[in-house]
Structures are given as C-alpha cells and as structure tokens.
Amino acid sequence: MAHLALYRKYRSQDFDTIIGQQPIVQTLKNALQQDKLAHAYIFAGPRGTGKTSLARILAKALNCADGVTIKPCCQCPMCVKIRDGMAVDVIELDAASNRGIDEIRKLREQVNYNPLEQACRYKVYIIDEAHMLTTEAFNALLKTLEEPPEQTVFVLATTEIQKIPPTILSRCQRFDFKRITVPEIEAHLKAVCQKENVTVDSRAVNYLARLADGCMRDALSLLDRLISAEGADLTFEKALASLGAALNTALAELLEKIIARDLTGALEFIGRLTADGKDLRQVGRDLLDCLRDLLLLSLRAGQALDLSAEDLAALQSVADKTTAAELKKMIAVFARAEQDMRWNPNVRLVFELAVLELCAPPSETPQPRSTAQALSEVETPLQTKTPAAAPPPLDPDQPLTFATVKQSWNFFLNKVKQKKPLLLTLLCEARPKNYADGVLTLQLKESYGFHKNKLLEPQNKNLVCGLLKEIYGREVNFEVVLEAYAAEPADQKTQWVKELFAG
C-alpha cells in the first residue's frame, strides 16, 4: 500500500480535533444547534491552519446520517464519502485552476438542482483559493451567493482576503483563522509520534514547531520528511542535519563574530556551514529569527520567546554584547539579503556581501542598498584617496617577475573593479602565489571551490587574461589552486570591503 502523508493521515475529521481555532469552531457549533446556519462563509487565514478541513467537517455535520449535528459520526456512508472526497453533492472547486467565468456559469446552472444523493440534505460548495477567481467570475457569482437555493451552502477559503471584492465579503459570514501556536503544534506532533511509534526529543519537536511558522501541514510534512530520513528515533541533532538548518548556538557564534567585526572569522564560518551542507537560504531565515529573538532579549522582552534553556542562554550571551540599534541594522541587512537570495543563483556571495557590510568599520559602513544595486553600479571608475600605483613600463624583452606582479596586484584589482565588480568579489579572496613561464598562480582557501570554478569560467578567464596583458604588455595566463594559508590582516580585508561598496 502506498505511503499516506502524515498531514493527510491525521487530518481533522470532526470539530473537536480542529487545533487552534476554538472561537470559530464554537461559533459554527452554535449556529448548527440554534438552526442559524448562514448560506455563505469565508474562511480566511494562513495556509495549513484548517480552513478546508473545517469546511469538510461542516459538510459532514450537515449531511451525517445522525441528522444535522455538532458531532458527525464519521462512519456513515455520507461522512465516509465526504472524508474521501467522493461525495457528489459536496463539490470542492480549486479556484486557482477553475477561475474563469465559464466555470462559475456552470456552477450557477448546477446549484439550482436538489442534491443527487438521497442521503444528502445540503449541497456544499467549497471554493478553495477563492482569491484566484477573476473579476468577471466574482461578478457572475454575486447573485447566486446572495440568494442561493435553500439547501445550498457556500464556503470560500482564501489565504489572501484582501483580494476578495467587498461585494463578495458583504454577502458572506467571515471567519479569520489564526496561526497555530508553537505549544499547540508541539502537542499535536508528540501525539502523532506516539501513534506512529516514533521516539522524539522535546528540542526536536520544538524546532519543528518553530520551523512550521504556525502551519500545521508544514509541521507534519517536516516530521514526515524527518522520519523518512532518520527512522523512528529522532533527535534534535538529526533534525538539524536532515533539514539543512543551522543550530541556534552556531548562529550565535556567527553573530558574535559579526558584532566583533571579525570579517575573516565570519567568512571562514560561512565556509564551514557550506562545507557541512547547510542551505544558506535556510540559514538566512534562521538568522533573521535569531536576530528577532536577540532584539526581544535586548529590550527585556525575552519572556515572549518559545526557546529551550540552552538556546536562551546562548542568545542571552550575545544580546549582552550588542545594542538594540545594532540588532535593528543587522535585521535590515539580512532581510534584504534574504530577498536577494531568492533570485540570485550565487547564494553564498549574497550572504557574504551582507556579512561584509556589517563587518565594515562604522566610518566605512555604506548606505543600505540591495545586492542588485551594489553589483550593477559599474559605470563610475573606483576613486580612492591613494590610487594603487601602476607597474613601471616593461620592455618586451625584459622578463616579468613575481615581485612585479605582487607589487602591482592592487592596481590590477582596481582595473577589475572598473570592468566587472562581481569578478572583484572573487579575486579579492585570492592572493598571488607564483609566476613562472607566463603562468600566474593564484591561491584560494580550500573551502573556496566555488570561487575557483567561477574564476575559470571562459568569460571571466578571458577578462582576467586581457587585463593582465593590458597591464604587463604580454600574454599572461593564470591558474587557481586551493590551499590552506594564513589569514590576511583585518585591515587589508576592510580595504576591499570599502572598494566593493564605494561607488
């Protein structure tokens, strides 16, 4: 038998199993008991909070063999058909793929007929993602929604209530679903693990609940993925390894380096995260959550955090070393980086640019701007107070020495800045190692394999070789080797931070 996803297997089947939406559940129960059922409802709220599940439960309550009830039996033929999506008179319409006026016209024709199944008392139309309907479709639905047949109930579910026209909203009874809290998700995940004979520690459950961001479906999907990857014995460490996320204590270590403006240490730390297989996009999201927690701690509002004692202690030690103003700046920088990482294929570069900006000395900190702006400003040549010296003119017959190349390296990097700023971010991590037989050897750290591959791409290699020929008056090729070497002085790194962000 095919595996059934946990979020489907443990989907709520009656009012009592709906999690986190008690006011809405109670209102619907009262309406059923007092025979005050509305003809149309709008369920609005974030994904995975129970909107479609509650719509199906309402359909069961109206059509159960026990009569209109707040406790559907979930065993009669109608309840089973509704549960399995086989009930002819409970129509679920996906507005994302059936959004036009033709589909709504067809619905208007069908709504006037009585239920086809003898055991069915009410026809229930569940329109999911209702905000995806076109304006014309909404207009065609207005009259039907205002005066539907007596035995018909509409339920519109949406995650974007602001896109529903006011004319539709005024004809429906609206319920706003809230995000499910971390404790509620934790309790449900523990219950599911118990039923699945899975052992899981409390820190892992807390981490999954926080990662789900109020969405129960996401929480169950993450748990399902974790069980598939790690088996029936789940720990916090396994959750971190499987989901590609960073540990709070590790994030605290990275933030400590940024606060201390330890650029070299921060870049090496990012290299280790990448080497360990961490997804930098997920690390960026975790880092924003961590910064938010730090900001609350610095404002003495830590009681609002759902953290383990170990994570709280690690974050408190970082919060004591910085200020709320600095934390706000970090949040702004990493929020821009998180947006840029969505479209930029070079995720590591975007992440490192954010760290470079935050590690720059206060007097050299650039004005906030996106990575796209920083990389697109190539029209104005770099201006510095003390331009790097050009190499002395070389006679064609005079041999080029490594000493000459090393002495004029900064001048070469300034040339690269004028031609292609993105290439500079790769080359400023390299250092000349040797020159012999017309080949310049550049050295990168062992963890910088991505930089090496980018530098050796034909377009970049041709540009570098062309600039070397322009400067030294002869053909100069280059190669890149990955080797461990001593860290550069911090002030030398800062020089290139300034040049990268200066216009």
In DSSP notation, 387-449 reads PPPPPPP--TTSPP-HHHHHHTHHHHHHHHHHH-HHHHHHHTT-EEEEEETTEEEEEE-TT-H
Query: Does the residue 424 lie in any domain?
Result: yes
Residues 191 and 136 placed together within one structural domain of the fold: no
Domain boundary among 161, 176, 191: 176
Q: Which two structure tokens, joined as six digits, stand for 256?
A: 């400590």
In sequence order, what DSSP letters do the residues of 130-191 get, joined into one string? GGGS-HHHHHHHHHHHHS--TTEEEEEEES-GGGS-HHHHTTSEEEEPPPPPHHHHHHHHHH
DSSP state of 15: G
For residue 192, give both structure tokens: 């599911």
Looking at the fold, whether 369 and 290 belong to one and the same domain comes out as yes
User: 390 in a domain, yes or no?
Assistant: no
Q: Mark whether 36 and 152 lie in a shared domain.
A: yes
Answer with the one of 375, 393, 419 that is the final residue of a domain. 375
**pLDDT at residue 308, rounded to an integer:** 64
Chain centre to alpha carbon of residue 400: 51
Residue 195, domain extent: 182-243
258 & 228 share domain = no
> For the domain that residue 211 is a member of, what is the CATH number?
1.10.8.60
At 62, phi and psi to the nearest 5?
-80, -25
Residue 389, in any domain of the structure: no
User: Is 186 found in the same domain as 172?
Assistant: no
Backbone φ and ψ of 331, nearest 5°: -60, -45
Q: Is residue 394 part of a domain?
A: no
Whose tokens are 């909107």? That residue is 51
Q: What pLDDT is stored for residue 378 in this prediction?
A: 41
Tell whether 270 and 358 lie within a shared domain. Answer: yes
**pLDDT reported for residue 383:** 42
Nearest of 199, 278, 213, 194 to residue 244 by alpha carbon: 278
- How far is the C-alpha of 96 from the C-alpha of 102, rounded, in Å? 14
CA distance 221 to 6: 7
Q: Which amino acid is at 144?
A: T
- CATH number of the domain that residue 37 is part of: 3.40.50.300
Confidence at residue 491, expressed as pLDDT on a 0 to 100 scale: 52
**In this structure, what CATH number is given to the domain that contains residue 435?**
3.30.300.180
Shared domain for 46 and 97, answered yes or no, is: yes
Looking at residue 46, its pLDDT comes to: 92
pLDDT of residue 115: 86
Query: Is residue 315 domain-resident?
Result: yes
Asked whether residue 338 is domain-assigned, the answer is yes
Q: In the listed set 213, 243, 273, which residue is the last one of a domain according to the structure?
A: 243
- Are 336 and 268 in a shared domain? yes
Is there a single domain that holds both residue 92 and residue 168? yes
Give the count of domains, the chain: 4
Cα 195 to chain centroid distance, Å, stands at 30
* Residues 342 and 482 both lie in one domain: no
Name beta bridge partners: 432.
442
Residue 388's pLDDT is what?
A: 56
* Residue 131 CB contacts under 8 Å (≥ 6 apart), including other chains: 95, 158, 159, 160, 161, 163, 164
Contact 96, 57 (CB under 8 A): no
Q: What is the pTM of this model?
A: 0.61
Flag whether 382 is in a domain. Answer: no
* Tokens coding 23: 């006011």
User: What is the rounded CA–CA span in Å between residue 124 and residue 152?
Assistant: 6
**Does 94 lie in the same domain as 120?**
yes
CATH number, domain at 270?
1.20.272.10
* One domain, residues 237 and 268: no
Q: Per-residue confidence of the chain (503 residues) as pLDDT tens digits? A: 568 899 999 999 999 999 999 999 999 999 999 989 999 999 999 999 999 999 999 999 999 998 899 999 999 999 999 999 899 999 998 888 888 888 888 888 888 888 888 888 999 999 999 999 988 889 888 888 888 888 899 999 999 999 999 999 999 999 999 999 989 999 999 999 999 999 999 888 988 998 888 899 999 999 999 999 888 899 888 888 787 665 666 788 888 889 988 888 899 988 888 887 788 888 888 889 888 888 888 887 766 676 666 667 777 888 888 888 899 999 999 999 988 888 888 889 999 999 998 887 765 444 555 555 554 544 444 444 445 556 666 666 678 888 888 888 888 888 888 888 778 878 878 888 888 888 889 888 887 888 888 888 888 888 988 888 888 888 889 898 888 765 555 455 555 455 544 54
Contacts of 89 (CB under 8 A, 6+ apart): 63, 115, 116, 117, 120, 122, 123, 124
Residue 470 belongs to some domain of the structure: yes
Distance CA 439, CA 348 (A): 29
Q: Does residue 200 sit in helix, strand or coil?
A: strand
